[in-house]
Amino acid sequence: MKRSYSQKVVYQIYPKSFCDSNGDGIGDFPGIISKLDYLALLGIDCIWLNACFESPQRDNGYDVSDYYKIDPDFGTMADFEQLCQEAKARNIDIMLDMVFNHTSTEHDWFQKAIKGDKSYQDHYIFLPPNADGSPPTNWQSKFGGNAWEYVPELNLYYLHLFDVTQADLNWNQIAVRQEMANIVNFWQHKGVNGFRFDVVNLISKPSTFQDDDTGDGRRFYTDGPKVSEYLRELNLNSFGHNPEALTVGEMSSTTLEQCVQYANSSQDQLSMVFNFHHLKVDYANNNKWALAPLDFKLLKSILFEWQVGMQHANAWMALFWCNHDQPRVVSRFGNDESYRNQSAKMLATTLHLMRGTPYIYQGEEIGMGNAYFEDIKFYRDVESLNYFDILKNEGLAEEDILKVLSARSRDNARTPMAWDSSPLAGFSSSQSWIDIPKESVTINVQSNLKESDSIFFHYQTLIKLRKTYPVIAEGSITPLLYEDESVFAYQRDWSEGNEHQSLIVLNHFFDSELHLDLADILGKGDNISHWQVLINNYPDLLIDQSLNTITLRPYQSIALLKLSN
């Protein structure tokens, strides 16, 4: 099945940290407009803007107080409309971030609810205390602490799966679901075709609330009973009528079986889904705050399981290493000390040539690494600050906590986009809301654009290739060298009529040099001379014809193409 978006690439912008036009240290829409030519040069098709509706910014916009207004930090509605127009003029669509699982406690609905308005209390999940006054359940908030907050005036608790200022909505209420469809339609009328739905597999809560004796409660509210029903209804009442719509759901702690439903080919729910299993492969004991080295074989097996499983069901997935909640991939699975250029390109090739829609997170295309902040005073993220206290209370030494944060904090991704080598990195004319990492002196847009073999141009090539070869956009995927401990390899195939395209992608994830038997890769009868090099992050290929081997150098990544008809 052909999908209108299989050739597209999405670029994610964290508006707060992309470009500041008015010198208040916070990125804004006029700043983004001034960089649209840069994005057009990269070749992307759609910009996903992180949460930008009016918000008290407790969780950087994921606490919405008014879904019909732009947060004044980012500009005015007129600025937003201009951004849409100018993007459209460059064939770029806009995707908005719909934070529909919860609202800010400053939202008008919540304010009415706590003043005693029963109909607005029904918009949220309010429950009475247990007989001893304790919260209704022992569920944990994802940002730490109990997930219920007591409101003394009402003698009720409300549920917040995230921060205490992010109250979960009650999607069982038809009024809430109608409001959500209205909001999507409002932005759609402004010409927005893309929608990302924040933690959308958490919207359907169970009908009874009970303690979780074995976990933090997530098994009771993740992929709840009516998620698909609610998504189908939202689709029908809003974006389902729009042939240009591109929708993606963020699925927290989900399963392949569920995602096959959410993003299947009937298209009656979402175009595609994000899942995070492949980004938990460096957690010790499944704990985000406990460091472990990358489990490469686990990374491979998870990605292959999802690639093959989604393909089998004709469902579609978003491909990503980075976003505003994840550390930078070149520091995480690559090597930002000795092989930044090679490893960043290798990771890009691995991702962009798989089956699905690639997402690039701002700065990834120039090889930006983690922030490496050395003091808690540099951190801004509510989750990081909460966990600093939690880990301290658990008895961890401050030095060790800082080590964990420097690998795991969401702020690693949220530092300002580095445009040039000046002290403020060309981001703003004054001190930015969060510090600029030291590496920006060398790792920036200006230096990338100067070198024709930079990481930026590697991304540009990958985007062009997706639009040129249907095997990348539409082809099937088969894992190769499944048991190999250092190479991530796969084959893609595509045919139409007599025309056939095959692609073999070899990605070396480590800093060693290794030899592979070409017969294991190409199949016994085939010869390397039938294949052309489509993209390579080294200037050449090391082939030994007599031994029929290929040598991969540190972080080398190669795609080979064979066309036939």
| Contacting residues toward ligand GLC, per CB under 6 A | 59, 62, 99, 162, 198-199, 250, 324-325
Q: Which is nearer to ligand GLC, 223 or 474 (CB)?
A: 223
Residue 325 Cβ, how far from ligand GLC at the closest point, in Å? 5
Cα–Cα dist 92/84, whole Å: 8
Binds 434: which of ligand GLC, Ca ion, none (CB < 5-8 Å by kind): none
Q: Which is nearer to ligand GLC, 411 or 484 (CB)?
A: 411
Which among 253, 250, 278, 244 has a CA at the least distance from the CA of 262?
250
Q: Which is nearer to ligand GLC, 252 or 349 (CB)?
A: 252
Backbone angles phi, psi at 528, to 5 degrees: -60, -25
Cα–Cα dist 253/286, whole Å: 11
Residues 6 or more apart from 62 whose CB is under 8 A from it?
51, 55, 99, 162, 166, 198
Cα–Cα dist 463/460, whole Å: 5
Q: Which is nearer to ligand GLC, 205 or 324 (CB)?
A: 324
Binds 20: which of ligand GLC, Ca ion, none (CB < 5-8 Å by kind): Ca ion
The question of whether 544 is a catalytic residue gets the answer no
What pairs with residue 342 in β-bridges?
Answer: none
Binds 28: which of Ca ion, ligand GLC, none (CB < 5-8 Å by kind): Ca ion
Residue 103 Cβ, how far from ligand GLC at the closest point, in Å? 10
Which among 118, 201, 128, 111 has a CA at the least distance from the CA of 161?
201
3-state SS class at 545: coil
The question of whether 250 is a catalytic residue gets the answer yes
Binds 22: which of Ca ion, ligand GLC, none (CB < 5-8 Å by kind): Ca ion
Q: Supply 481's token pair.
A: 């060298």
Q: Which of 198, 223, 336, 381 is catalytic?
A: 198
Residue 76 Cβ, how far from Ca ion at the closest point, in Å? 12
Q: Which is nearer to ligand GLC, 163 or 365 (CB)?
A: 163
Give how far the C-alpha of residue 330 lies from the chain's centroid of Cα atoms, to the nearest Å: 15
Q: Which is nearer to ligand GLC, 324 or 332 (CB)?
A: 324
3-state SS class at 428: coil
Residues in contact with Ca ion, shown as a per-residue x/- string from 381 to 410 under the rule CB under 5 A? ------------------------------
Identity at 304, one-letter amino acid code: F
How many residues make contact with Ca ion (CB under 5 A)?
5
Binds 199: which of Ca ion, ligand GLC, none (CB < 5-8 Å by kind): ligand GLC
In the block, which residue shows the tokens 């120039």?
366
Q: Which of 250, 282, 325, 411 is catalytic?
A: 250
Structural contact between residues 477 and 505, judged by C-beta atoms closer than 8 angstroms: no
Residue 381 Cβ, how far from Ca ion at the closest point, in Å? 19
Which among 209, 214, 141, 147 has a CA at the least distance from the CA of 172?
209
Cα–Cα dist 270/264, whole Å: 8
Residue 260 Cβ, how far from ligand GLC at the closest point, in Å? 21
Cα–Cα dist 234/1, whole Å: 24
3-state SS class at 235: helix
Backbone angles phi, psi at 170, to 5 degrees: -105, 95
Among residue numbers 28 through 67, which ones bind Ca ion (CB under 5 A)?
A: 28
Residues in contact with Ca ion, shown as a per-residue x/- string from 4 to 33 under the rule CB under 5 A? ----------------x-x-x-x-x-----
Residue 424 Cβ, how far from Ca ion at the closest point, in Å? 13
Binds 26: which of Ca ion, ligand GLC, none (CB < 5-8 Å by kind): Ca ion
Interface positions with Ca ion (CB under 5 A)? 20, 22, 24, 26, 28
Residues catalogued as catalytic = 198, 250
